[in-house]
Structure 1
């Protein structure tokens, strides 16, 4: 049996592998009959030798190969601006022949990131292998996934809470799974409500920091003060808030520079390392609404508050309050 599991949703790929393992009998025996291989340097002969090896005291041998089909992409994408590795268009035929002759005792799983439909190894194996593509979940599909995950864990979550969680976290299923587990533990048997997401989720706190920065930049000091007091009351410490505000301002300064230079949405997302489309769009929108001068001005005042705290000149909360006061219309120098 041959599986090809590929796509950007590596959480679902991981879960699919666990499902395959559960169908192969005793987990202890399977553990000694499982082989993981790195596909980028693998030869067809090496793969054939592993597949032909008989299992030990078990009916099946599991072989998982990562990154094999990606070697034969017509164009390989680079990551984070690094130069992409050159594709290897030749040699896929030997792997196709090897994989098509996998014996019955071998279960071969090929795992890859996003592949083009024109990938020669994918096309050669698709007619008779079980091929599954895992794309990032968005919109209603993501909402349904959260609902299913909550039900699977024996919990309940109000629809507004589900949608808020989907909006805050986006298609990162690893992070969503952790947030769901945390929320269900916090609810302790009752239904998770919208207020619980705001109270417990670290992503909700990041959203509050985003709102605080937005109010600061827009000189809406009343809203900024409310957001600051809410964050402090929820347990956020002054050093944490300084770090998060500074991080957001640095992202906005870089985004503004990229917007001014004509950078595309995808390029900005790569440079800022923002994979959540909701957060990326909000960051770009916020950067467009404020000048680079305003962004650097607020960032400079924040650094002054940070120095005041670290040198012991001011307590943390006092320094943050003074930071807000100095940015108010009456507190700024003429």
Structure 2
């Protein structure tokens, strides 16, 4: 973060500031709207603005509601899970950085694929003596989600090994989704004297997260620009972070990111957003929907991939419409359909542009279009153009009654 970028000449375009020399990037959840790793009770207090650090001076930060061991010693076994992949990645990066220089960290880090790894391989990696260091980092990705109660032998073997995990090991289990509270390894680590659990949850309000994230990068952004960026990119935090890097560098030292900066630098993301196309269809704005479609095609999106996106969007709209009709609000719909609250709110508003009967007819129309493309009845681009024309009726009332929906 904070790398200089090549930008246009003028008032904008000066390289944005990076983190102070010698200081690592901010830790996960620090000043960005998400709960982070709290200061370890045995370590020195964290100064205001200082990034939280999962391995600060071997006094690893722990959250009192997660860590319930009887000792203040640093954790040895971690579980990182949840939907916020950016926060999880930053936590792992911070752990790696505390192993020393990159070349030394690489020698003392082992990454294991949980889809195929065995408990024996995990044990071998953790029991290996660190090379010219006092600890070794072992990261296991995707194991716990497949270790259910039906695989008792593996669960028992792993549970038994965690009780004798060496002091030199830092074993981290990483899961991209949220684990069930009753998962046997989750329960074991929660009770482990050297256990630490962190659930990474996406921010509820993207705009607030964007403002605080920009501040962490040494810049400022107006609320209007933050809202425009949230609309443009959506809830993908990793993509948002990449866009913010460009915007902070573009605004320069002391500059403030404005809505026009977002429009200029993130225009492709904004115009290509699938929500914008469906919004246009819901407003019967065929011209804008067609323009967005062709912009996506020009940017290299495959026609069938676009069709799949539209199909998924209308399938979600049908589900949201049904739940809203039963009295559910956007927040409850987000939980029921396992959607990000930002996405659920957008769908909730979009669904109001259609009746249930219209949505069902649109969905059948989409399936017919998919079949026409796959059977060679028409080319994919022509089929998409006809689809947009069919879904966005002209303003003429007489013509409206002739449309398929």
Partner residue of 1:193?
258
> 2:155, 2:184 within 8 Å by CA — same for their partners in 1?
yes
1:267-288 deviation per Cα after TM superposition (whole angstroms, max 9, x unaligned): 9968x99993344434544454
Partner residue of 2:277?
209
**1:122 is aligned to 2:197:** no
Equivalences for 1:42-191 in 2 at 5 Å? Answer: 42-73=117-148, 87-112=150-175, 113-127=177-191, 128=193, 129-139=195-205, 142-189=206-253, 190-191=255-256
> 1:6, 1:115 within 8 Å by CA — same for their partners in 2?
yes
CA drift of 1:124 comes to 1.3
**1:35 is aligned to 2:100:** no
CA drift of 1:178 comes to 1.8
Q: Any idea what SS the aligned residue of 1:104 has?
A: coil
Partner residue of 1:6?
81
- Name which of structure 1's ranges 29-38 and 13-22 shifts more when overlaid on structure 2: 29-38
- Name which of structure 1's ranges 40-49 and 24-33 shifts more when overlaid on structure 2: 40-49
For 1:255 and 1:178, the matched residues in 2 are separated by 28
> 1:170, 1:277 within 8 Å by CA — same for their partners in 2?
no
Partner residue of 1:276?
343
> Which one has the bigger helix percentage?
1
Q: TM-score, normalised by structure 1?
A: 0.69
Compared CA separation, residues 248 and 97, structure 1 to 2 (3 A): closer
Gaps (5+ residues) in structure 2? 1-75, 327-332, 373-377
CA drift of 1:60 comes to 2.1
Compared CA separation, residues 309 and 52, structure 1 to 2 (3 A): closer
Gaps (5+ residues) in structure 1? 75-86
Q: Any idea what SS the aligned residue of 1:91 has?
A: helix
CA drift of 1:211 comes to 3.4
Q: Any idea what SS the aligned residue of 2:257 has?
A: coil
Compared CA separation, residues 40 and 253, structure 1 to 2 (3 A): closer
For 2:392 and 2:184, the matched residues in 1 are separated by 62
Compared CA separation, residues 160 and 63, structure 1 to 2 (3 A): same
Partner residue of 1:78?
none
For 1:18 and 1:176, the matched residues in 2 are separated by 18
CA drift of 1:236 comes to 4.2
Root mean square deviation of aligned Cα: 4.6
Compared CA separation, residues 288 and 23, structure 1 to 2 (3 A): farther
1:160-194 deviation per Cα after TM superposition (whole angstroms, max 9, x unaligned): 22234335544321121122123334434531123
Compared CA separation, residues 200 and 300, structure 1 to 2 (3 A): farther
> 1:252, 1:284 within 8 Å by CA — same for their partners in 2?
no
1:91-134 deviation per Cα after TM superposition (whole angstroms, max 9, x unaligned): 32321221222222222111123111111111112232121111
- Name which of structure 1's ranges 149-158 and 34-43 shifts more when overlaid on structure 2: 34-43
For 1:310 and 1:111, the matched residues in 2 are separated by 41
> 2:113, 2:140 within 8 Å by CA — same for their partners in 1?
yes
1:307-327 deviation per Cα after TM superposition (whole angstroms, max 9, x unaligned): 89979xxxx9xx9xx999972
Equivalences for 1:14-29 in 2 at 5 Å? Answer: 14-29=89-104
For 2:157 and 2:312, the matched residues in 1 are separated by 47
> 1:54, 1:61 within 8 Å by CA — same for their partners in 2?
yes
1:228-262 deviation per Cα after TM superposition (whole angstroms, max 9, x unaligned): 79979xx9488569969866754455456667999
Aligned residues: 300
